[in-house]
């Protein structure tokens, strides 16, 4: 039988069972830790067969002694709760009957077994001789990399809700689910196909259980020591040299080594990757930003099966204002050209771009007609309702219309206060009319504008705007990253070793730049997307400076050095070089 990777509830453990094998998953709550002195105050058990897990046994027990306060705080079971309950001499024979000759299962089996046997002896019963299966021992073999194998930590690891723990029935429920998850691992990764093999596995040594030992040992011995402590991109390959996964790292040695540490505690997909990896190669980069851009490009070129994101170049929309028109409109465009028009973006998707155009056209009286309609010289409905000054009929001068365009560009570059006030007023009016859907849509507009400005510093950054230098200090403060962006392209990315380097890096980048007049290609647009995200993630350590129109390249470069010196001096414990 072939096993599926997506299991239904209890499918794994029940598949291992036969009609001759039944599990009874058990948990006890006690007055302390010593089975010879302390007593059982609650016992619960769940019978698991190949077809059912619905039979339960659960009883509170009067221990005949006072329940300590610390036990009540942990379990919620007080002396008054068990006062009228039967004693162990009544409950234990019933539990023995429920258990029968089934396999006795518990988490940390020695604890529960010692208490139950002690109560059996007090009740005049024979000590338990059932075969045992301990979920704690099994977890130690199957998940040796997981630091804690406590029931609570295993529940968190397997994302099993843990509310109500430290009552016997709830702990039985969690233990049963943990056992099922462990059985899945045993079946899928160790080819276990019977409950007898699972029981046997709990006593095996780690070396015999671990399916990755040979090639993992080889990679740990031959590859990991060679990894440099620098940024870069790594490529995990199978035995035939096929690239299975591409990743980036701030520090290659730490990142790649993490895959081969505590392997069993990794998610299933990652364990599957490690099981197939036989070789690892890497490219060292000067900065993390270099690594991010290279990673994105290599994923798209290689299409590795274990990468999920960044596999395709996604066309991102831009807003376009054609300055060649005397009375320009705002349109959505995917291809960015050096055609003299103003481009703003990229935006997340076409829907977001259309919303921004709708906001602009609602609150700024731009024309929306096509060139053919405009040349016809007849005003439209928007002019009738006051949404357009009808430039087609000479209703507004080019100079006055230019003022409106300036408001549009100011809005896109982050001046959203005035328009947000207008949207908010419309939202309140819609709420007063009980038009709650309209009010909610207007509220979403405000949230969109706020989030764009917070994340990018503008609603949509200008593509062909002024040159920018972005300076980022590293966490260590002595190192950093230099980025020059001009005409929508990343012109230069360099590692900074000292503040004195910044001026020459900037000036040399300007001297060597070769900005093409062609359209931005998808690789350049993807690199800009990565840069924008990187700037946002590192915003606490980044300073961005804009080149002034009258400023020379040398003066701009000198100003960049001064800004970086101040950035270093603001870092905790920094020493400016």
Residue numbers annotated as active site: 166
Nearest residue to 558 (alpha-carbon basis) of 547, 572, 569: 547
Torsion from C-alpha of 194, 198, 199, 205, nearest 10 degrees: 140
Sheet holding 468-473, edge to edge: 489-496, 480-486, 468-473, 542-546
The set of residues, in sequence order, having a beta carbon less than 8 Å from that of 94 and lying 6+ positions away, is: 57, 59
Task: Report yes or no: 520 and 463 within 8 Å, Cβ to Cβ.
Answer: yes
> CA distances (Å), 360 to each of 215, 340, 397, 575, in order?
60, 21, 20, 48
Listed residue (431, 459, 435) closest to 359, CA to CA:
459
For residue 420, what are the CA distances in angstroms to 406, 410, 426?
17, 13, 10
Read off the DSSP letter of residue 391: G
| 3-state DSSP of 184-238 | HHHHHHHCCCCHHHHHHHCCCCHHHHCCCHHHHHHHHHHCHHHCCCCCEEEEEEC
Spatial contact of 212 and 35, defined as CB atoms under 8 Å apart? no
Report residue 143 CA to chain centroid gap: 23
Helices 398-412, 350-363: crossing angle, 10 deg rounding: 140
Site of tokens 């010289």: 377
Query: Residue 346: is the preceding peptide bond cis (ω within 30°)?
Result: yes
Residue 105: both structure tokens together: 């299962």
**Of 179, 213, 169, which is closest to residue 199 (Cα–Cα)?**
179
Distance (Å, rounded) from C-alpha 144 to C-alpha 147?
A: 8
Cα–Cα distance for residue pair 375/369, rounded to 1 Å: 10
How far apart CA 374 and CA 382 sit, in angstroms, is 13
**Closest C-alpha to 319, from 363, 371, 358, 364:** 358
> In the 8-state DSSP scheme, what is residue 462?
B
Give the C-alpha separation, 164 to 302, whole Å: 48
Asked if residues 42 and 54 have their Cβ atoms less than 8 Å apart, the reply is: no
Closest Cα partner for 61 from 32, 90, 18? 90
Output b/e per residue, 451-463; b: 16+ Cβ within 10 A: ebbeebebbbbbb
């Amino acid at each position: 039988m072939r096993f599926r990777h997506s299991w239904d509830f209890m499918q794994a453990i029940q598949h291992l069972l036969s009609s001759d094998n039944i599990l009874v998953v058990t948990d006890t709550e006690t007055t302390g830790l010593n089975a010879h002195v302390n007593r059982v105050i609650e016992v619960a058990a769940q019978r698991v067969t190949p077809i059912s897990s619905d039979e339960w046994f659960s009883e509170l027990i009067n221990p005949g002694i006072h329940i300590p306060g610390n036990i009540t705080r942990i379990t919620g079971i007080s002396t008054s709760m068990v006062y009228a309950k039967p004693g162990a001499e009544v409950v234990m024979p019933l539990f023995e009957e429920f258990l029968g000759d089934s396999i006795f299962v518990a988490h940390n089996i020695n604890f529960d077994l010692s208490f139950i046997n002690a109560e059996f002896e007090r009740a005049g019963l024979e000590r338990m001789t059932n075969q045992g299966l301990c979920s704690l021992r099994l977890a130690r073999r199957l998940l040796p990399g997981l630091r804690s194998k406590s029931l609570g930590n295993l529940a968190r690891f397997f994302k099993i809700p843990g509310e109500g723990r430290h009552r016997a029935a709830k702990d039985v429920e969690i233990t049963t689910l943990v056992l099922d998850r462990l059985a899945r691992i045993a079946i899928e990764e160790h080819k276990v196909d019977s409950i007898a093999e699972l029981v046997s596995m709990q006593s095996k040594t780690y070396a015999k259980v671990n399916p990755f030992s040979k090639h993992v040992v080889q990679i740990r011995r031959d590859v990991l020591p060679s990894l440099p402590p620098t940024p870069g991109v790594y490529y995990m390959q199978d035995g035939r040299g096929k690239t299975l996964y591409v990743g980036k790292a701030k520090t290659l040695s730490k990142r790649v080594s993490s895959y081969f540490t505590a392997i069993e505690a990794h998610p299933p997909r990652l364990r599957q990757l490690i099981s197939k990896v036989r070789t690892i190669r890497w490219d060292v980069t000067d900065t993390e930003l270099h690594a991010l851009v290279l990673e994105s490009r290599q994923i798209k070129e290689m299409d590795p099966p274990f990468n999920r994101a960044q596999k395709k170049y996604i066309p991102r929309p831009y807003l376009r204002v054609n300055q060649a028109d005397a009375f320009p409109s705002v349109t959505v465009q995917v291809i960015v050209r050096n055609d003299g028009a103003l481009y703003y973006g990229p935006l997340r998707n076409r829907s977001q771009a259309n919303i921004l155009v709708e906001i602009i056209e609602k609150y700024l009286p731009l024309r929306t007609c096509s060139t053919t309609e405009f040349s016809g010289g007849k005003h439209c409905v928007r002019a009738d309702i006051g949404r357009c000054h009808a430039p087609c009929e000479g209703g507004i001068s080019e100079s006055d219309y230019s003022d409106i365009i300036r408001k549009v560009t100011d809005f896109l570059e982050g001046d959203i206060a005035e328009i947000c006030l207008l949207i908010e007023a419309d939202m309140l009016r819609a709420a007063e009319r009980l038009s709650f859907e309209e009010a909610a849509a207007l509220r979403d507009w405000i949230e969109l504008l706020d989030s764009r400005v917070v994340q990018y510093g503008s609603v949509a950054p200008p593509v062909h705007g002024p040159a920018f230098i972005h300076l980022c200090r590293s966490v260590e403060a002595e190192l950093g990253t230099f980025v020059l962006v001009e005409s929508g392209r990343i012109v230069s990315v360099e590692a900074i070793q000292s503040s004195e380097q910044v001026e020459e890096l900037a000036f040399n980048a300007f001297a060597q730049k070769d900005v093409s007049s062609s359209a931005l290609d998808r690789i350049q647009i993807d690199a800009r997307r990565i840069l924008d995200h990187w700037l946002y993630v590192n915003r606490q350590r980044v300073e961005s400076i804009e080149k002034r129109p009258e400023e020379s390249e040398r003066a701009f470069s000198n100003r960049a050095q001064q800004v970086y010196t101040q950035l270093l001096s603001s870092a905790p414990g920094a020493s400016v070089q």
